[in-house]
Amino acid sequence: GQQVMQIPQYQHVQEGEDFTTYCNSSTTLSNIQWYKQRPGGHPVFLIQLVKSGEVKKQKRLTFQFGEAKKNSSLHITATQTTDVGTYFCAGGDMEYGNKLVFGAGTILRVKS
Amino acid sequence: ETGVTQSPTHLIKTRGQQVTLRCSSQSGHNTVSWYQQALGQGPQFIFQYYREEENGRGNFPPRFSGLQFPNYSSELNVNALELDDSALYLCASRPGNTGELFFGEGSRLTVL
């Protein structure tokens, strides 16, 4: 079945440093979504990528979807303490009702 | 506030018992997905309902079952509870098979 792997599992950065998390799918995806979950909270949608090679930006966050639509990345420039949380990618496959399969997430901690 | 409500928020059961979790989706959302999130893990896809029909299922045994009602609210039923079923159960809705998932706050199940 479809699997989504995410690395690193955990990253601890100094405030102001950059952060990147990577996502790889075992199958070609129809779309990929990114979510952020704060401790004790529920996942909150950040963005969806659909096109091969797509790049989207949200302020300090840059999202990429690979050419083969099997991998993706989230890059945060100049992290802030408000960026703390777990970042999940979720791969969608329209062949299976576009069920979204989540990666294990990357926990981001920011030292001020 | 996503407009997705789940009940109960917390519950404790013993091994072998059965549990029903409920989800009221956001108005106009005809797709509901259920996820299991163990501590420190990513959400694991259980199943998805679209207009009252199951149209996607993850690697969960048949003792995990569900329903979606005409008003698009949903239930997750788990029979013969096991200790490993202890987790946060998340319900998420969206309008159709594409687009972001709107998550509820979750139901935290503890099996003793």
pLDDT in 10s for each residue of chain B, 112 residues? 778 999 999 999 999 999 999 999 988 899 999 999 999 899 999 999 999 999 889 999 999 999 999 999 999 999 999 999 999 999 999 988 778 999 999 999 999 9
Q: Which residues of A touch B42 (CB under 8 A)?
A: 6, 88, 102-105
Question: What tens digit of pLDDT does each residue of A32-84 get?
Answer: 999 999 998 999 999 999 999 999 999 999 999 999 999 999 999 999 999 99
Residue A94 pLDDT more than 80? no
Selection from B47, B51, B54 nearest residue B33 by Cα: B47
Pair of tokens at residue B75: 């239930």
Q: How many CB atoms lie within 10 A of CB A16?
A: 12
- A101 closest CB neighbour out of B45, B98, B104: B45
CB A68 within 8 A of CB A53: no
Q: Which residues of B touch A104 (CB under 8 A)?
A: 41-42
**Interface contacts A/B by beta carbons within 8 Å:** 60
Whole-number pLDDT of residue A97: 67
- B100 closest CB neighbour out of A48, A101, A103: A48
**A82 SS3 class:** helix
